[in-house]
C-alpha cells in the first residue's frame, strides 16, 4: 500500500517527479477557499441525505478532502463519485467552481477532482475511532479551524451481532 508523505519527507527523485507532474497539468492546481468549502459541504449534504449515507467525519481542505463513511450496500467508489458529483453540481449552481474560467463557452469546466480516491477499509471500532479523530484534527494541523458539518453523524459503534454493518 502506498503511504502519503509530507513534502519534507519526499526524496529528491520524488520531488522531481512531483514537479514534472505539476508542469504537465493542463489547468492550474485547484485550491479550495472557505466559500468553496461551504459549497462542497452543501453538495455532500445533499447527496448524503438523498442516498442516506452515514458520514462519521469530514474535513474539506484546500487541496484535499477526508471523509469517514460507514459501510454501505453501495461500493465506496460509487459513493465517492456521487459525492464529488453533487459537490460539483452545487459549485456550478452557485457559480464558484475553481476552474470555471477554463470552460469553453456553454460547456462545463474541467474536472476539479482527481479521478480516483484514497480508500482504507476499517474493520474494527478502534480503527474507525482513530480515523475519525485523524479527520477531525486534520484542519487544525493545517492551521485552520475544526470543521463541523450538518451531514456528519456521531459514530455510535458497530453492530457486534455480525461482521457486516450496512447503512
Q: Where are the domains of the chain?
A: 31-100+112-167
Which pTM value belongs to this model?
0.83
Write the DSSP symbol of residue 73. Answer: S
Residue at grid coordinates 489547468: 27
Taking the alpha carbons of 44, 49, 53, 55 in that order, is the dihedral positive or negative?
positive
pLDDT at 30: 87
Rounded Cα gap, residues 85 and 47, in angstroms: 9
pLDDT at position 117 is: 81
69 membership: H or E segment, kind and range: strand 65-69
Res 167: pLDDT: 56
28, HSE (Cβ side, Cα atoms, 13 Å): 10
- What does the alpha-carbon distance between residue 71 and residue 81 come to, in Å, rounded to a whole number? 16
> Who's near 141: CB < 8 A, 6+ residues apart?
none
User: What is the grid cell recorded at 83?
Assistant: 459525492
| Closest C-alpha to 80, from 50, 48, 56 | 48
Each residue's pLDDT expressed in tens, for the chain with a length of 167 residues:
345 667 778 788 988 887 887 777 777 788 999 999 999 999 999 999 999 999 999 999 998 999 999 988 888 999 999 999 999 999 999 999 999 999 888 888 988 998 878 888 898 999 999 999 999 999 999 999 999 999 999 999 887 665 555 55
Amino acid at each position: 500500500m502506498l503511504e502519503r508523505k509530507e513534502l519534507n519527507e519526499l526524496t529528491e527523485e520524488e520531488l522531481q517527479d512531483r514537479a514534472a507532474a505539476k508542469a504537465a497539468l493542463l489547468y492550474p492546481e485547484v485550491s479550495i477557499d472557505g466559500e468553496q468549502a461551504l459549497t462542497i459541504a452543501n453538495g455532500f449534504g445533499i447527496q448524503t441525505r438523498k442516498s442516506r449515507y452515514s458520514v462519521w467525519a469530514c474535513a474539506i481542505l484546500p487541496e484535499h478532502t477526508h471523509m469517514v463513511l460507514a459501510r454501505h450496500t453501495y461500493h465506496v467508489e460509487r459513493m465517492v463519485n456521487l459525492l464529488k458529483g453533487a459537490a460539483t453540481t452545487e459549485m456550478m449552481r452557485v457559480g464558484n467552481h475553481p476552474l470555471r474560467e477554463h470552460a469553453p463557452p456553454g460547456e462545463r469546466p474541467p474536472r476539479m477532482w482527481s479521478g480516483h480516491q484514497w480508500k482504507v477499509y476499517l474493520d474494527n471500532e478502534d480503527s474507525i475511532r482513530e480515523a475519525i479523530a485523524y479527520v477531525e484534527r486534520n484542519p487544525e494541523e493545517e492551521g485552520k479551524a475544526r470543521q463541523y458539518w450538518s451531514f456528519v453523524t456521531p459514530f455510535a459503534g458497530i453492530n457486534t451481532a455480525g461482521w457486516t454493518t450496512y447503512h
